[in-house]
Structure 1
Amino acid sequence: MAAITQDNHGLRLAVRYVVLTLIAVIFIFPLLFMVMSSFKPDLQLLRDTSSLRAFLPVGDLSLDNYYDAFRRAPIGLFVFNSVLVTGVTVLLSLFFCSLAAFSFVYLNWKGRDLALTIIIATLIIPFETIAIPLLLFVSKLPWIGLEGIEFGWLDSYHVQIIPWIADGLTVFLFVQYFKDLPSELIEASRVEGASWWQIYRKVVMPLAGPVIATAAILKFLVMYNQYLWPLIVVQQETYRPVLVGLQYFFQLSITWGEIMAYLTIITVPVLAFYLVLQRAFIASIASTGVKG
């Protein structure tokens, strides 16, 4: 009987691995096509799309598309802008949203539930409905820069960062996670005389590794893939992110090999960030060991 149960368990495990492998292959195919196509001239690229050769490193392979892509657009500048804006926004968002969630879960203040409801309700509002009002608003706001007080945030890094620091989804993720933490930890810390700031910094946040990694990945993807908002508020090439820079390759002659090379280059930071956060996520789960 035990042998039959073990065989059934092994069969279910094998089926699960097969299904997961097929799902992984489905998601890998577009990336594989993009990378392989970035090394092929346009004629071969288009010809190979009708067969499995599109996913294989066969034919006339070279780095010409990468050289031409760098000559056509300042790719390094675009990647730097996106990484800078995304990184700063993620860090500020994690800090302020976790602070807000901490106050919603552990502090009692008037209107707390109503404020949380309003914040969560913002998730159903499409950004396109507030894009123009937000543009008119930030175009009149003052900013203290190196040259003194300036009015208008257009063509800057902060106009791409500040409006995106706080969001309902990140606050909601932290609220749900903080609610599941053992209340005894907070009560014991209060008895020992710890302040709320000390509890947030030394008790709650060290245990919040999984939600930090999750929120960081989701925020990174949203910010790195920004297109509409930077397209509206950024006119100077100096501040353009990667997706706005993609329009350089659709001007004059369209070269699909260069487009694939550009997409491959701008995908590298996303994969690197995801791999780093995934490892941190697994490590935080292994080291926490806290159960509700």
Structure 2
Amino acid sequence: MTAGRQKNRLLIALDYLPLIAIAAIFVLPLLFMVFSSLKPDGQLLRDATSLRAFLPVGDLSFDNYAAAFSRAPIATFVFNSVIVTATTVFLALIFSSLAGFAFVFLNWRGRDVVFSVILATLIIPFETIAVPLLLEVNNLPWIGADGLQWGWLNSWRVQIIPWIADGLTIFLFVQYFKDLPEDLIEAARIDGASWVQIYARVVMPLSGPVIATAAILKFLVMYSQQYLWPLLVTQSETYRPVMVGLQYFFQLQTPWGEVMAYLTLISVPVLVFYLLLQRFFIASIASTGIKG
């Protein structure tokens, strides 16, 4: 009996080895980043050639963080990214889910053509429309606290509104809504529910997995990959996000310890966002596995 248990434990350990190796591929760079941000530049470069790079050893301090904050307005960059990303994700989930609901549950002329056009936008590189979009937003009106203004440049709205709806997010909702039981929709219609009530009380409460998946994908795009567009439409540090702020450190020949400190700081919102959506994210993976 003891030999059998040991054999089972060995087999389980062998099964977990590939998972541990894959986890290490993703975790080790994070450890290197965090621990390097606590080391002086000389020690950081020496440790980079050994396993000491992944360990909290040597002369550790928060001097790099203090220097990074004094070199650039990091708090402003992070705040701008959080505001822009959170607002965009929230609005994108609302408008994309409404669009997906209309494509799946409502019958209207030209529905398939419009959906095909939306899907076709996925193959168009953003660089091809960046300049026309820039010229367009530079001449659009906006009513704010100071009255009517022309041009959206150097603001949060110019970084949010053009990214509210996108083909991928709409496609995710359409595909998920198609798999929902039609009996639920028919029962709600028989009970006298309007389409708005069906959307809010029947469809969306069942859409946790796709909401989490769409939110995570949108968050990653808006927070960690938005560089070209904010660089074009913002001229001051007041509205620039973290990816544009990163160029400050490279232009000023910043020590690597401060760069690692900045990267660690801008990674915190990503970790917080993931932890908040972890339950829905796991549910979406499980749901996908069951359907497959």
> Normalising to structure 2: TM-score of the pair?
0.92
Taking a change above 3 Å as real, the CA distance of residues 38 and 285 of structure 1, as seen in their structure-2 partners, is: closer
The residue aligned with 1:26 is 25
Name the residue aligned to 1:155.
154
- Closer, same or farther: CA 50–285 of 1 in aligned 2, 3 Å: closer
Point out where structure 1 has 5 or more consecutive residues left out of the alignment: none
Q: Secondary structure in 2 aligned to 1:119?
A: helix
Indicate the SS of the match to 2:238: helix
- The 8 Å contact of residues 97 and 170 in structure 2, kept in 1 or not, is answered as yes
Give the structure 1 partner of residue 202 of structure 2.
203
Preserved CA contact (<8 Å) 1:141 1:153 = yes
CA distance in 2, matches of 1:133, 1:193: 46
The match for 1:278 is 278
- 2:80 is the alignment partner of 1:81: yes
Cα distance between partner residues in 1 of 2:36 and 2:89: 32
- Matched length: 285
CA RMSD of aligned residues (A): 2.3
2:51 aligns with 52
CA distance in 2, matches of 1:132, 1:222: 20
Where in structure 2 are there 5+ consecutive unaligned residues? none
Amino acid in structure 1 at the alignment position of 2:184: L
Q: Deviations over 1:86-114 (max 9, x none)?
A: 00000000000000000000000011011
Query: Does residue 263 of structure 2 align to residue 269 of structure 1?
Result: no
> Given the superposition, is the C-alpha separation of residues 56 and 196 from structure 1 closer, same or farther in structure 2, using an over 3 Å criterion?
same
Q: Which residue of 2 aligns with 1:189?
A: 188
Corresponding position of 1:177: 176
Please give the alpha-carbon distance, in whole angstroms, between the structure 1 residues aligned to 2:129 and 2:284.
37
The residue that corresponds to 1:244 in the other structure is 244
CA contact (8 A) 1:105 1:179 kept: yes
Distance apart, 1:48 and its partner CA: 1.1
The list of structure 1 runs, each at least 4 consecutive aligned residues, that deviate by more than 6 angstroms after superposition, is: 6-12, 283-286
Cα deviation per residue 1:9-66 (whole Å; 9 max; x = unaligned)?
9877554422122111101111111001000111111111111111111111110000
What percentage of aligned pairs have identical amino acids?
71
8 Å Cα contact 1:209-1:285 kept in structure 2: no
Q: Distance in 2 between matches of 1:190 and 1:12?
A: 54
Q: What's the offset of the Cα at 1:8?
A: 10
Helix, strand or coil at the partner of 1:70? helix
Inter-partner Cα distance in structure 2 for 1:107 and 1:190: 12
